[in-house]
Amino acid sequence: MNLVKGMKNSIAFLTIIPVAMDTDGVAQAAAYMPLFPLIGATVGLIVGVAVRLFEFVLPSLPSAAIGVGLLLLVNGVQHMDGLLDFGDGLMFHGTRSGKLKVMRDPAIGAGGVAFGLVVLLITFSALAAFPSALVAQSLIVSEAAATFAMVLATGVGRSAHRGMNTVFVEAMHHERGLRLGVSCVIALAVSYFALGAVGLVAVLGVGVMAVLVVAVSKRSFGGLTGDVLGATNEIARSVSLMLLLVFLRWV
């Protein structure tokens, strides 16, 4: 029952899928964070099948645009919001406290717009470039890898300040090696099942990217925030899709 409750609250936390979150839902989602790649893979499957169906009646470009929109919608646009704030914070020239203040500002600046556009364009163009037969598998891998990137960043990083991110950081740092190992195995297994060895490359690639984001965030903000974790998800998706394209061409 605890596993079912943890998965239900994790789904409610990560997506707009209509499952009710319990009063201790955030703590439950944090406790079961290593399982996030399973939820990411499920979202990738749902959106991938939808894009595949659209491609029967539409060209690849509008189908890919719809796919990107569905990814943002199902994920509740919360990670994209984090990416925009992350871009604003990085581009602000000032102290760490000033950068954190900019990230909390509801207005979107030039840095956020630039980061958001670049990541969305990469995601859209990569998705449009996949053969129709591989769209669903590629999205399964990219969403599993993107959620694993958040898990890894949370496991190796520290909070810049106390907030919702702290709940996840503290949960991941309890038996950190075991929790990271479980999440990594899940992401690798799902990706290998979907695309074979090429899927493994995507997971390993976003793992490196997640560590780099943690390093940048530590230098710029003093550690992780919820916005940084959301940005990690969005960047990891685009990076994983590009890696898949490159290595699928070789294969």
pLDDT in tens, the chain (251 residues): 588 888 999 999 999 988 878 888 899 999 999 999 999 999 999 999 999 999 999 999 999 999 999 999 999 898 999 999 999 999 998 899 999 999 998 888 899 999 999 999 999 999 999 999 999 999 999 999 999 999 999 999 999 888 888 999 999 999 899 999 999 999 999 999 999 999 999 999 999 999 999 999 999 999 999 999 999 999 999 999 999 999 988 76
Q: How many Å apart are CA 153 and CA 159, to the nearest integer?
A: 11
b/e for 36-68, b at 16 or more Cβ within 10 A?
Answer: bbbbbbbbbbbbbebbbebbeeeebeebbbbbb
Angle (CA) 212 102 70, round 5°: 65
Tokens for 62, please give them.
């509008």
Which residues partner with 224 through β-bridges?
159
Query: With contact defined as beta carbons under 8 Å apart, do 5 and 99 qualify?
Result: no
Please tell me the pTM assigned to this model: 0.94
Question: How far is it, in rounded angstroms, from Cα 42 to Cα 233?
Answer: 15
- C-alpha to C-alpha distance for 199 and 23, rounded to whole angstroms: 36
